[in-house]
Structure 1
Amino acid sequence: MTTLVSVRGVSHRFGTHQALDNVSMQIDPGSYTVLLGPSGSGKTTLLSVLGGFLVPDDGRIEINGVDCTALAPAKRPTTTVFQDYALFPHMSIGNNVGFGLRMKGVPRDERDRKAREMLAVVGLEQAFDKKPHQLSGGQRQRVALARALVVEPAVLLLDEPLGALDLKLRRQMQDELKAIQKRVGTAFVHVTHDQEEAMALADHVVVMNNGRIEDEGTPERVYARPATRFSATFMGESTILTGRGITPGRVATALGTFAVEGVAAGAEAHLALRPEHVTLGAGSDATVRDVVYQGSFKRVSFAVNGEPGLVVLCRLAAETPIGEGQAVKISADPARLVLLGD
């Protein structure tokens, strides 16, 4: 598959702050890439570099094989959807959607036709003559999408587009975003700090921290086999077990001794354990520290006896009878432990 976007060794500073530090990645045609990370991780800066709103201090951006590093936003094959949607309140929805075509000199009849077609794609064909204030937040978000897509960009950039929506509407819009992306076939690059949003939307997740890419791949791979400690704790929850190699390939931890490929005798190792891979009924003595009911499951934390500071997270069926202060035994599924890099 031909690469659509190539980011090569991109770095950028704001004063003394290193916002991006030698970032390299590729984006394939038709993919849904999510840049995931906490505030200050560099994800929004990278999106701004892709969109042409920032020229990086070092590195190169290629789109469809063309060097776009220093091109202005209007001259590159990208469009951006911002969190506030930035619709023109005095214009009709049809004129909002057709605005980019108007700037390109497209005749009125043609841009109205294309605007109607794109509004139909996002399910708002009846809103052509309405004003933005007459629509809900989710509908305005879809209008912003239609306006960005009608100019047929090679890449659509989305800067936390669901951040202003309530939880129910955000989840609904996740489904709609993914469906629209599949329908139009445009590559989407979406910035968020929400792990669930990333897993719901992406086929390519890029986990960022301190201006660098910590991990990237399919959501399934990044969740099941995180590359680093940060990735394991940011892309979903994990308990990090610290152990020491007792023989080549075997590690002793607070929850037992496990076979872990790549660990030398005497070496310190860090292992990621997901909550759903902790089981009750055998293993190490522990005390229930906290129980949080979350509808379809209970999120339980355990203090492991004799291991000060170690708290193990577990996800149990909602009907499991368990309470704070209860003495239990817990164990880890050895096949699910992941040896972490630095």
Structure 2
Amino acid sequence: MSAPVVSIRNLSHAFGALTVLHELSLDIQPGEYVVLLGPSGSGKTTLLSILGGFLQPTNGAVLIDGRDCTHMPPAKRPTTTVFQDYALFPHMSVGANVAFGLRMNGVAKAERQRLARETLALVGLKQVLDKRPHQLSGGQRQRVALARALVMKPRLLLLDEPLGALDLGLRRQMQEELKAIQKRVGTAFVHVTHDQEEAMALADLLLVMQDGRIVDQGNPERVYTQPSTRFSATFMGENTLIDAEVTEISGTTATLRTALGTLALDRPGIRKGKATLTVRPENLRLGTAPSGRVSLGSGEVAESVFQGSYRKAVVRTGSGGDILLKLPVDMPVRIGERVEVHAEPRHIGLLQE
């Protein structure tokens, strides 16, 4: 593996007596799209601000290409930032907005105009060079802000909820465009969002944050299907959590006792004691468990609601709590019907925090 673009070492930050980041350490690889995901107050924007030089950490260090940039001001470090409100100059043309940073760096007029045109073409906006920001749509303004950041050829591009002001359809379109642009330019991106779908669509590396800590990290599929903590299991979409206890271990196979019955799972590194099973609603099915699938017990259908692309159902198991399912629309279930619930072993997460 090549040397990281960014190394964060034991980073902490406090506002007075309130600590908002706790001893974070992280490496960001060249060309990696990193997404910081978490609720308000989790510390993701504070971390982004420290990476951009807008905040000084209380402790720790930020290294970019091996150089200590911890106390370097924003204009001096090899980073640029795209803000949620775009921060475009309304009195300047689009071309002048994109070229502004180059002008501040003393780049000759002809060269900065050439680079502005090239970068606007990269984001699909070469036709708006002479327009003013107020003449553009929200999605176009977002792409102008992205071009203004990319034209500086940063080693690290920071995006602070850049799609938050867009409507749903445009947001999804811009997710695809952002990912495609990032892969073309090869710059490492760090993107802040509280939108789980956006995070999974964009991230190579997904960092789930809670109370100033990174509580889960990995590729989006792993974090979603096999979360490392109860928080990431519930924050990353809907999930059913089942309390369990590991009573026996034979090789990598664990026997677990739950309120829904006893089951066996093959999991390396497991230990005896308390555990939590997690299973996503779309990975559950009804009926007698066929060979190779794990029964999660039975219960009574308490809810069955048509949701367009799927049917949402809740099975009430009594002492085992409720199990949430997303079923095919052509699988009607009746309220009060007694059913059995099962899943594939690979779709059952197991937490031991």
Q: How does 1:24-173 map to 2 (within 5 A)?
A: 24-173=25-174
Q: Report deviation, 1:324.
A: 4.0
SS of residue in 1 equivalent to 2:287: strand
In the alignment, which residue of structure 2 is the partner of 1:253? 258
Report if the CA contact (8 A) 1:270-1:340 is conserved: yes
Q: Letter of the 2:255 partner, please give it.
A: R
Distance 2:243 2:41 in 1: 28
Report if the CA contact (8 A) 2:274-2:352 is conserved: no
Distance 2:304 2:190 in 1: 37
Distance 1:292 1:134 in 2: 44
Q: How does 1:1-342 map to 2 (within 5 A)?
A: 1-248=2-249, 249-260=254-265, 261=267, 267-282=273-288, 284-307=297-320, 310-342=321-353
SS of residue in 2 equivalent to 1:138: helix
Report if the CA contact (8 A) 1:241-1:253 is conserved: yes
Report if the CA contact (8 A) 1:285-1:305 is conserved: no
What TM-score comes out, normalization by structure 2 length? 0.92
SS of residue in 2 equivalent to 1:232: helix
Change (3 A) 1:316 1:149: same
SS of residue in 2 equivalent to 1:98: helix
Q: Report deviation, 1:136.
A: 0.4
Q: Report deviation, 1:323.
A: 4.3
Q: Report deviation, 1:28.
A: 0.4
Moved more, 75-84 or 237-246: 237-246
What TM-score comes out, normalization by structure 1 length? 0.95
Q: Letter of the 2:190 partner, please give it.
A: V
- Identity percentage of aligned residues: 60
Distance 1:314 1:56 in 2: 44
SS of residue in 2 equivalent to 1:145: helix
Q: Letter of the 1:16 partner, please give it.
A: A
Distance 1:8 1:294 in 2: 45
Q: Report deviation, 1:329.
A: 2.3
Distance 2:179 2:34 in 1: 11
Distance 1:182 1:161 in 2: 18
Moved more, 6-15 or 220-229: 220-229
Distance 2:137 2:98 in 1: 16
Structure 2: 5+ residue stretches without partners: 289-294
Change (3 A) 1:323 1:48: farther
Q: Report deviation, 1:223.
A: 1.6
Q: Report deviation, 1:219.
A: 1.0
Q: Report deviation, 1:291.
A: 3.4
SS of residue in 2 equivalent to 1:86: coil
Distance 1:263 1:224 in 2: 17
Q: Letter of the 2:316 partner, please give it.
A: A
Report if the CA contact (8 A) 2:216-2:232 is conserved: yes
Moved more, 203-212 or 296-305: 296-305
Distance 2:49 2:305 in 1: 39
Change (3 A) 1:202 1:110: same
Q: Letter of the 1:321 partner, please give it.
A: P
Distance 1:292 1:39 in 2: 31
Q: Report deviation, 1:303.
A: 1.5
Distance 1:164 1:293 in 2: 30
Change (3 A) 1:59 1:264: closer
What value does the CA root-mean-square deviation take over the aligned residues?
1.5
Change (3 A) 1:256 1:119: same
Distance 1:335 1:99 in 2: 52
Q: Letter of the 2:282 partner, please give it.
A: E
Report if the CA contact (8 A) 1:80-1:156 is conserved: yes
Report if the CA contact (8 A) 1:255-1:332 is conserved: no
Q: Letter of the 1:275 partner, please give it.
A: P
Q: Letter of the 1:316 partner, please give it.
A: L
Distance 1:204 1:8 in 2: 18
Q: Report deviation, 1:322.
A: 2.3
